[in-house]
Structure 1
Amino acid sequence: MPRRLALLVPVALAACARPAAAQRGLPDFADLAERVLPAVVSIQVTSREQSTLPPELRGTPYERYFRQQQRRGGQLVQGAGSGFIIEPAGIIVTNGHVVGNATRVTVTTHDGTEYAARVIGSDDLTDLALLRITPRGQLAAVSLGVSDNMRVGQWVMAAGNPFGLGGSVTSGIISARGRDIGAGPFDDFIQTDAPINPGNSGGPLFNMAGEVIGINTAIYSPSGASAGIGFAVPSDLARPVVEALLRGGRVDRGWLGVSVSDADEQGRRQRGALVMGVERGSPAARAGLRQGDLVVAMNGERVETSRALVRNVAGLPPGETVRLTLIRGGRNQEIAVQIGRRPNDSQG
């Protein structure tokens, strides 16, 4: 207990110093927070965790008991996250990993009202999900802004449910744009130093106009708490995903059916996506792509990396035909491929 009180002292001193800082031209977030917080929600999730049998239980009397528990659905696990209302009728945006395989989702609005929520759909590649609640009336809502207009160094405010403490806001700046943190082919994160902690996932990152320019998704944290490096999905990437989930509850993405790597990593001088394998019966196989082909362009646009190829293909609607330019046996040639629908676990 004394240690915790000691940690609170610097925070209190910093708060006392803020009026002087405001006089030096630093922004005041009070009006912004008052305007947007009614549209920010806390999300409580109940899910069942499936576990593997520990090796030490094999062949013991406990093995039977363990397997019986698993058949009954596993252990109940509680989780928490954040979200924001995008339509007054009760449509909420959050992270896909917040709701996961939830058996029950409860949304608590800023005024403390609880609603049972239904998952409309989610998209694994962008880690976004859409929820629906049935409110008693019209709810406060916020809109997606244009993340591409944001510049490094601009002020932002994060809002959400850190550590279960709903209705919290933090402020900071945009530290970087276009971050690739290895989460997937659509990595294009906004990096911010606004403190983001466990429970903030799925919450909004606002610009000073009160528009959502990012969805807080991940943190870099050796300690498990904020280290001043947080990552948000840009609103420009989220917008078409939200629209697709609203239309049909899913995002249909394009698929070639190849495994690829960067050409320069394989000792090639020419940049591009090197085909390492082709799945049997896939669109790529039907079009005649082969292992060893080097894809250097799609519809005339240069392809510099394997990630670029996977991302470009995933962004296409299934059924569309594209023209791939590739190098095979030292010679350039073009192949037309009709894009398929991407399975959940495919690379490209």
Structure 2
Amino acid sequence: MRWLWWPILLALGGCSIMIPFSPRPIRASAPAGAAALPPEIARVKQSAVRFSGQAPACFKRIEGTGFVYAPQRVMTAAHVVAGVTRSASVTTDDGDEYPARVVAFDPIIDIAVLYVPDLSVPPLIIADAPPGHAYVLAYPVGAEREVVQPIKIDRDVQGVAPDLYEKRKVTKEVLELSGADISPGSSGAPLVVPGGRVAGMVFASSTDAPNRGYALAAVELLPIANDARDATRPVSTQRCDE
């Protein structure tokens, strides 16, 4: 494991994000059909969902990705839901939409959990995985359906970056990714390894390295996932991610 300082990162929350470069066009469907995917990836892709919500205080409609990790509980990035107070919902790949509420919000690590009472999608298991091949299951802004992209986990690093509101520096265990187009709307996407487990959650991409992305490692996800497994009470989403 090595240390990394992120001088230039792009958080990938949704359509309100300002992009300092010209991204590649976002495909409207997965680059490979479900039949071409490994069986365990095709089986779990239904557990990734699209998040959307309104943040009236900053005049934003925000989109992102999340994944079901426990019955009726969806994990996503905190910057995806920051400031959202209206119309929070998740949509499955078959188009079914369900109201959601934020029950955990951690702007330091950048993780949030949603309670979706009517959602019956099978949960995914979060577990550590070594570097190697994986898949990102995401809903980029503008994509009509879920996009499944093969990707490579290059290494596990200790990264230092500001928290969501740039009040303090935070050390996180992060997976460096390469080989895929990590686009706006992909924050909160699960990083699924062969076998169907979640090794991390996408939260940012590099602005100066093409096809370079970053995911929070499973060790960062598990404490909040466990604490919010039975949570139902709404919590504040604080202010928008500026």
| Fold shared, TM-score > 0.5 on shorter chain | yes
Using the size of structure 1 for normalisation, the TM-score is 0.51
| Residue 167, structure 1, aligned to residue 150, structure 2 | no
Q: Which amino acid aligns with 1:196?
A: I
Residue of structure 2 in register with 1:36 after alignment: 44
Larger strand proportion of the pair: 2
The answer on 1:178 being equivalent to 2:193 is: no
Q: Determine the C-alpha separation between the residues in 1 that align with 2:38 and 2:225.
A: 29
Amino acid in the other structure paired with 1:140: P
Contact 2:66–2:76 at 8 Å: present in 1 too? yes
Gapped runs of 5+ residues in structure 2? Answer: 1-23, 163-168
Q: How does 1:102-251 map to 2 (within 5 A)?
A: 102-104=84-86, 105-135=88-118, 138-147=120-129, 150-151=130-131, 154-165=132-143, 166-183=145-162, 184-193=169-178, 194-222=180-208, 227-246=210-229
TM-score normalized by the length of structure 2? 0.72
In angstroms, what is the RMSD of aligned CA positions?
2.6
| One-letter identity of the residue aligned with 1:220 | S
Whether the 8 Å CA contact 1:171–1:195 is kept in 2: the answer is no
Distance in 1 (CA, whole Å) between partners of 2:112 and 2:232 is 9
2:5 matched residue in structure 1:
none
CA contact (8 A) 1:80 1:164 kept: no
Unaligned runs of 5+ in 1: 1-6, 19-27, 51-75, 251-343
Q: Based on CA coordinates, which of the two structures has the bigger radius of gyration?
A: 1
Quote the Cα distance in structure 1 between the aligned partners of 2:37 and 2:156: 23
Q: Displacement of 1:245 after TM fit? A: 2.9
Residue identity matched to 1:245: A
Counterpart contact for 1:33–1:169, Cα < 8 Å: no
Higher relative contact order (Cα pairs below 8 Å, separated by 6+ residues): 2
Output aligned runs, 1:249-264, within 5 Å. none
Contact 1:120 1:246 in 2 (8 A): no
- C-alpha deviations, 1:67-122, integer Å up to 9, x for none? xxxxxxxxx3111100001123x110000000001012111012210011100011
One-letter amino acid matched to 1:195: D
**Matched residue pairs, number?**
195
- Aligned-pair CA distance for 1:140: 2.1
Counterpart secondary structure, 2:100: strand
3-state DSSP class of the match of 1:238? helix
Task: Give the Cα separation in 2 of the matches to 1:210 and 1:248.
Answer: 25
User: Secondary structure of 1:111's partner?
Assistant: coil
SS at match of 2:150: strand
